[in-house]
């Protein structure tokens, strides 16, 4: 990790309602069946890499998309 990585602000904590809203927004944006990219979730929704991987994994499970 570079020094710049340590200077990034921590993402704000999410409550159940804002997490549900985020899930709906992501599902709405990716209706065609393709899963969001890790980079998209990290940049647009300010997720950590580990959290983005968890979200993509759950998105694929919910949609029945096999891991490549």
Rg (alpha carbons) of the chain, rounded to whole number: 13
What is the pLDDT, as a whole number, of residue 67?
77
Going from the first residue of the chain to its last (68 residues), give the mean pLDDT of each consecutive group of 10, the final group possibly shorter.
61 76 90 89 94 94 83
User: pTM to 2 decimals?
Assistant: 0.71
């Amino acid at each position: 990790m570079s020094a710049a990585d340590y200077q990034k602000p921590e993402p704000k904590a999410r409550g159940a309602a804002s997490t549900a809203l985020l899930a709906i927004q992501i599902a709405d944006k990716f209706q065609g069946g393709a899963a969001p990219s890790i980079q998209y979730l990290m940049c647009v929704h300010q997720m950590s890499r580990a959290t983005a991987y968890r979200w993509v994994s759950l998105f694929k499970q919910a949609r029945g998309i096999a891991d490549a």
